[in-house]
Amino acid sequence: MPQKLHAKRPNEPVRVWSAGCASGEEAYSVAMLLADAMGEQDYRQRVKIYATDVDEDALTTARPAVYTSKDISAVPERFAGYFEPANGRFAFRWSLRRGIIFGRHNLLEDAPISRVDLLICRNTLM
Ligand SMILES: C[S@@+](CC[C@H](N)C(=O)[O-])C[C@H]1O[C@@H](n2cnc3c(N)ncnc32)[C@H](O)[C@@H]1O
């Protein structure tokens, strides 16, 4: 992330596309990495993460950003502050969540999202 960010001008937008985001973990993970590398204020001003999937049910799970303690057990301790307790589970903090835009998108049919700095599609093209 620091290397990618170094190539950008200060204040230039940073656009990420998580294609095949399923239940959102990939989008929230990249949000944490960017906020960590840029600082939260810079992240909030510059970052837009487009998180798309063909599966509406997966997007319905992803949008609220609420996970069980088991779901987030692999999140490194230094990122624990990006979550807050929510009725026995953990919600990804809204200050970072609001820069993530979820939407239905079929990679085989729909036009791609343009001008992205980083495209993530782990386990999607398979
Ligand atoms: C194994 S999951 C990967 C989720 C996430 N990228 C990760 O690594 O955690 C694959 C995802 O790709 C989505 N997918 C499959 N075909 C797709 C298509 N044609 N367009 C968009 N998403 C698709 C599925 O709905 C599923 O959520």
What is the per-residue DSSP string for 44-85? HHHEEEEEEES-HHHHHHHTT-EE-TTTTTTS-GGGGGGEEE
State the closest ligand 1 atom to the C-alpha of 120, by its place in the atom list counted from 1.
6
* 0.85 exceeded by pTM: yes
pLDDT value of position 46: 96
Cα(9) to ligand 1 centroid in Å equals 32
- The domain defined by 2-120 folds into Rossmann fold (3.40.50)
21 C-alpha vs ligand 1 centroid, how far in Å?
A: 6
- The yes-or-no verdict on residue 126 having pLDDT over 90 is no
- Looking at ligand 1, which residue's alpha carbon is closest to its atom 5? 21
pLDDT in tens, 63-72: 999 999 999 9
Mean pLDDT, rounded, for 97-101: 97
